[in-house]
């Protein structure tokens, strides 16, 4: 069990949990899953030590995703902000009495996607917490939250659980054959995932098939070797998930830099250009993605 879940679970079972929590850490660590586990413990009518019972009415409703005392606020569309209307609905929910459980539990994910109006509306709610409601904010970039929001939440940074725990978790998820084979590819997957369990899983695939990571690197390689042309790969990448592309390319460049020394300047250049793309993406600057990847790809070949 993750130390942070142990800590939160203990506080929850002793009724000492602060009413507003901020769970922060890089993407793909499993913050959402952690918050869901905590929510189930808080809503359970018969909680065991650090665990929901899994059998009571509350647990069954939680598992079906239809608990009346639970609410999750997320952007209505990917890439769009969380809007003030959504936070107003949340505030109504905060002050209403629980219907089935002893408490209500709300999750905002990711909190940094609230626009300024939404964030200010949330601030009012945080200033007057309701006794029976818990608010869990999740954030990949806590530094971009309003400082006043951060300071009203108890902060819990979530770190990597470490290779041994992730290997154990995966071997429970994977099919018999992959498990018996000792999770082939785990070492590589671990190295390129920066300790994030969900990225390791994504890399290995449910059945141990290497997935998007190898596809992306294969596409890059086919351009570098002249098998595919610049425009087709840039076009392909402009339709891929930008976060996934960025994390994959950053991890691969990191790998290559550790493997062969002597490529210093080239590697740094490619890396810096990726950081630039990441910054534009984060700040939602409306650039032409296809053009952006064309430029990156071209430079990556020049600098070889």
Q: How far is the CB of 49 from Zn ion (least distance, A)?
A: 13
Contacts to Zn ion from residues 19-48, by CB under 5 A: 44
| Rounded distance between C-alpha atoms, residue 70 and residue 108, angstroms | 11
Sole window of 54-62, 92-100, 178-186, 201-209 interacting with Zn ion (rule: CB under 5 A):
54-62
In terms of CB distance, is 46 or 177 closer to Zn ion? 46
Residue from 26, 27, 50, 56 in contact with Zn ion (CB under 5 A): 56
Q: Which of 50, 53, 123, 250 binds Zn ion (CB under 5 A)?
A: 53
Site track for Zn ion across 64-103, x = CB under 5 A: ----------------------------------------
**Dihedral sign, CA of 145, 151, 154, 159?**
positive
Nearer Cβ to Zn ion (33/46)? 46
Write the DSSP assignment of 120-181 as a string of letters: HHHHHHHHS--TTEEEEEEES-GGGS-HHHHHTSEEEE-----HHHHHHHHHHHS-HHHHHT
Smallest gap from residue 46 Cβ to Zn ion (A): 5
The rounded radius of gyration (Å) of the Cα atoms in the chain is: 22
- Rule CB under 5 A: is residue 59 a binding residue for Zn ion? yes
| Cα gap 32→137, rounded to integer Å | 10
Q: How many residues bind Zn ion (CB under 5 A)?
A: 5
Which positions ≥6 away from 223 have C-beta within 8 Å? 229, 230, 233, 297, 301
Among residues 12 and 59, whose Cβ is nearest to Zn ion? 59
Nearer to Zn ion, 53 or 100 (CB): 53
| Strand residues in the chain grouped as ranges (E) | 20-24, 70-73, 104-108, 133-139, 154-157
Question: Smallest distance from the beta carbon of 19 to Zn ion, in angstroms?
Answer: 21
List residues near Zn ion by CB under 5 A. Answer: 44, 52-53, 56, 59
């Amino acid at each position: 069990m993750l130390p942070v879940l142990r800590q939160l679970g203990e506080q929850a079972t002793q009724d000492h949990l602060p009413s507003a929590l901020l769970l922060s850490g890089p993407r793909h660590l499993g913050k959402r899953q952690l918050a869901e586990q905590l929510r189930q413990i808080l809503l359970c009518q018969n909680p065991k030590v650090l665990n929901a019972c899994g059998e009571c009415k509350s647990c069954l409703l939680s598992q079906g995703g239809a608990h009346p005392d639970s609410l999750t606020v997320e952007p209505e569309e990917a890439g769009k902000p969380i809007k003030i209307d959504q936070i107003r609905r949340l505030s109504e929910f905060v002050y209403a009495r629980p219907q089935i459980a002893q408490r209500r539990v709300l999750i905002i994910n990711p909190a940094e996607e609230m626009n300024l109006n939404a964030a200010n509306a949330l601030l009012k709610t945080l200033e007057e917490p309701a006794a029976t409601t818990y608010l869990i904010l999740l954030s990949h970039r806590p530094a971009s939250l309003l400082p006043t929001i951060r300071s009203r939440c108890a902060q819990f940074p979530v770190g990597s659980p470490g290779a041994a725990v992730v290997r154990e978790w995966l071997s429970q998820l994977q099919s018999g054959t992959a498990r018996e084979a000792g999770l082939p590819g785990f070492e590589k997957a671990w190295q390129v995932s920066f300790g994030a369990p969900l990225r390791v899983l994504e890399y290995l695939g449910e059945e141990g098939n290497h997935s998007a990571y190898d596809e992306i690197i294969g596409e890059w390689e086919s351009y570098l070797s002249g098998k595919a042309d610049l425009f087709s790969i840039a076009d392909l990448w402009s339709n891929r998930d930008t976060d996934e592309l960025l994390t994959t390319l950053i991890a691969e460049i990191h790998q290559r830099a550790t493997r062969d020394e002597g490529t210093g300047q080239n590697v740094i250049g490619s890396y810096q250009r990726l950081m630039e793309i990441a910054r534009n993406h984060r700040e939602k600057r409306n650039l032409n993605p296809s053009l952006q990847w064309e430029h990156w790809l071209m430079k990556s070949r020049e600098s070889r």
